[in-house]
Amino acid sequence: MDTNTVLDLMWILIAGILVFFMQAGFTLVETGFTRSKNTGNIIMKNLMDFCIGSIAFWAIGYTFMYGDSEGVFGSFIGRPSWFFDNPAEMHSLFFQTVFAATAATIVSGAIAERTKFTTYLIFSLLMTLIIYPISGHWVWQSGGWLAKLGFTDFAGSTVVHSVGGWASLVAAFMVGPRLGKYTDGKSNAIPGHNLLIGSLGIFILWFGWFGFNAGSQLAISGDNANVVAGIIITTNLAAAAGALSAMFITWIIYGRPDISMTLNGVLAGLVAVTAGCAAVSPFGAFMIGLIAGVVVVFSIEFVDKKLKIDDPVGAVSVHGVTGALGTLLVGVFATDGGLLYGGGFHKLGVQAIGVISVAAWAIGASFVVLFILKKTIGLRVSKEEEVDGLDIHEHKTNVYN
C-alpha cells in the first residue's frame, strides 16, 4: 500500500476511534440530564445500542448503505451482503459503524426515563439495520438519488443527526411525556441529577466531533491535509459560537446564563456545522454556530411548551432542528455556490429537498416501527416502574449506593 493510502487510512481509524468515544459523551449527557433513579437504564441503553449497532451494521447494515447501487432500487438502497469482511475496507466499516451508532443513540435521550428496555433495543437494532442505512445510501453512496442531485451533507448533519433527531421526535411523541412533566397543560421542569457529568459528556462529544467532521474527509494525504485542518477550525468555531449565543440568549430571556442550555448550544453549533464544515469559511462557521445557538434555545422551548413533547435532553432540537438548519445553511454560507457567495438559490433548494426527504423517511419509518412495537410489546413501562425508577425494576440495581 502506498504511503498516501496509509496516511488516509490511519487518519480514518484515528478519527473513528474519536467518534467511538462520543458514545461515552452521549451516555454522560443523557444520564446527567435525567434523574438518578434511571441512570442504570440509560447506561445500558447507550452501551447496548452501540453493541447491537456494531454487530447489526457489520452483519448487513453496512451493505444496505454502501452496497452497490444496482438496477431500479439502486438509488434507494445498496445491495446487501452478509457479514462484511473485505480486508481492504475494514477501516471504512469501522468509521461507518461508529456513525451509525451515533444516529441510533440520539433517540435514547429523547425517550429516557419511561421507555421499555426491550422495546428500545429492538428499535435501536432497526435504526442501525435499516432506517439509518437507507437514507444514508441516498446521500453518501455516490449512486444514491440525493447524491446524484448534488445534495451536500459533508459529515452528516442530516444523514446522522437529523435522522436521529426526527426519529427522536416521533419516539418522544409516541411514548408520551414522563409522569408529572405536564400538569394542567403546563410544562414542569424535571431537573437532571448531575450537570457536571453532563458537561463532561459535552466536552467528550466536542473532542470526538473533531474525528466526526475531520475524519469525514476520508483522507488526509496531499492537499486533503489543509482541508482537514480547515474542518477542525470550522468545527471548533461553530461549537464556540453556539455556546456563546445560547448563553447570551438565555441571559437575555431568563435573566441568567443558563448552564444546560449553554451546553446544548455547544452541541447545536457542532451539529449545525457538520454538514458544511468543509464548505464554509471560518467566518461562515462562526455565523452558523451563532445562529444554531439561538435557534436551539427557542426550539427546545417550542418543543417543550408548544408541542408539549417531552424530550429530556433536547435531542429533537439539538440533532433534528439544528441538523436540518445546518444543512440548509450550507446553501447560504458555502463559499462555492452559497447564497451569500453569489451562488443563488439553487444550492439552497437542493439542500431543502434533501432535508425534507430524509426527514420524511426518518419520521415515516420510525413511526411504522414504533407503531408496531406499541401494538405488540408496548413502548412504555408501567406507572409504578416509572415512579420508582427503571433501575430497580428493569435491572434490580441501584447505580448509586
Q: Which of 29, 37, 38, 50 binds a second copy (CB under 8 A)?
A: 50
The SS3 assignment for 380 reads strand
Give the Cβ contact number of residue 321 at 10 Å: 27
Cβ(13)–Cβ(91) below 8 Å:
yes
By C-beta, is 28 or 131 nearer to other proteins? 28
By C-beta, is 374 or 395 nearer to other proteins? 395
By C-beta, is 171 or 214 nearer to a second copy? 214
Q: Which does 278 bind (CB under 5 to 8 A by kind): a second copy, other proteins, none?
A: none
Closest CA to 168 of 211, 132, 206, 204: 132
Q: Which of 79, 80, 81, 90 binds a second copy (CB under 8 A)?
A: 90
Q: Which of 167, 243, 277, 296 binds a second copy (CB under 8 A)?
A: 243
Cβ(316)–Cβ(309) below 8 Å:
yes
Say which residue the cell 439561538 belongs to. 294
Q: Which does 20 bind (CB under 5 to 8 A by kind): other proteins, a second copy, none?
A: a second copy
By C-beta, is 118 or 376 nearer to a second copy? 118
The amino acid at residue 87 is P
Spatial distance between the Cα atoms of 187 and 176, rounded to a whole number of angstroms = 13
Q: What is the maximum alpha-carbon separation in the chain?
A: 67
Quick one: how far is CA 329 from the chain centroid? Answer: 17
Query: How near is the Cβ of 283 to a second copy at its closest, in Å?
Result: 6
Site residues for a second copy, 159-198, by CB under 8 A, read 191-197
Q: Which does 73 bind (CB under 5 to 8 A by kind): a second copy, other proteins, none?
A: none
Say which residue the cell 445534495 belongs to. 151
Quick one: how far is CA 94 from the chain centroid? Answer: 17
Query: How near is the Cβ of 301 to other proteins at its closest, in Å?
Result: 4
By C-beta, is 197 or 340 nearer to a second copy? 197
Please identify, among the stretches 110-118, 183-191, 198-206, 372-380, the one whose residues bind other proteins according to the rule CB under 8 A. 183-191
Q: Which does 375 bind (CB under 5 to 8 A by kind): a second copy, other proteins, none?
A: none
The SS3 assignment for 234 reads helix
Closest CA to 291 of 255, 339, 337, 237: 237
Site residues for other proteins, 345-384, by CB under 8 A, read 384
Sequence-separated (6 or more) residues with CB below 8 Å from residue 351: 151, 152, 327, 328, 330, 331
Binding flag, residue 305, other proteins (CB under 8 A) = yes
Which residues form the interface with other proteins (CB under 8 A)? 180, 187-191, 250, 254-256, 258, 260-261, 264, 297, 300-301, 304-305, 314, 384, 387-388, 392, 395-398
